[in-house]
Amino acid sequence: MWVRRRSQPPRSGAALPVRSDALRPPAFDQVPSDHRRRSICFDESLGLRLRVRVTRARLDRQLAAGHPCESTAALALRSSQLLDARARQVVAGDLRGVVEFVDRAASGRLISAVVIERAAVRAGREAILGLAERLEGTGPVTPRGMALVRMLLTDGVSSPLFNPGCGLSVAQAVWEIADVLGGDAPTIGFDSVTV
């Protein structure tokens, strides 16, 4: 008979029978092998996710340069992260944030650690907002295109948002990215980055 052991005996004074193996410590080494495989897979996926988190800028550069998404597990995971609807919303919000920052800066003195080329952003305002609108929509996008959008927002050397000497206007870079988002080959060369 299986009876739960109590910390105090019942009021009647009679002790309840207790299973003999209930007093032994649990045997953790008797876990089914399927559970161990799941645990190992979970550990591997956790390690992969951590590795992708730490190296996401390098992975984005590789995707932008045209490396196949399935060439490594890290690139495949990063590609799926970039295509996630939430990631698209965040990037679209960042694009809108750049335009809003320039609008606020025009109304008065604004101190920032990031040096954005305000004139370039003003000139490409409609293209930037159009790209944000496209990312907020439900149409398909490519991982390479998403990586290029992230580079536009974060690369201080090759992005016309930050570097007037990069050789492209903001509108040109945005139109090229829009082509890549749709699956077309780039025509101008914004994605010519070193890995």
Q: CA–CA separation, 84 vs 72, rounded Å?
A: 19
Number of domains within the chain:
1
**Does residue 176 belong to any structural domain of this protein?**
yes
Q: pLDDT tens digits, the chain, 195 residues: what are they?
A: 455 555 555 555 555 555 555 555 544 444 444 544 444 455 678 899 999 999 999 999 999 999 999 999 999 999 999 999 999 999 999 999 999 999 888 766 666 667 888 899 999 999 999 999 999 999 999 999 999 999 999 998 899 999 988 889 999 999 999 999 987 655 545 554 443
**Does residue 55 belong to any structural domain of this protein?**
no
**Does residue 79 belong to any structural domain of this protein?**
no
Q: Quote the radius of gyration of the chain (alpha carbons, Å).
A: 28
Q: Note down the domain range covering 106.
A: 84-181
User: What's the distance, CA 71 to chain centroid?
Assistant: 18
Tokens of 53: 């988190």
**Does residue 163 belong to any structural domain of this protein?**
yes
Angle between helices 170-181 and 125-136 (to 10 degrees): 20
* 3-class DSSP assignment, residue 90: helix
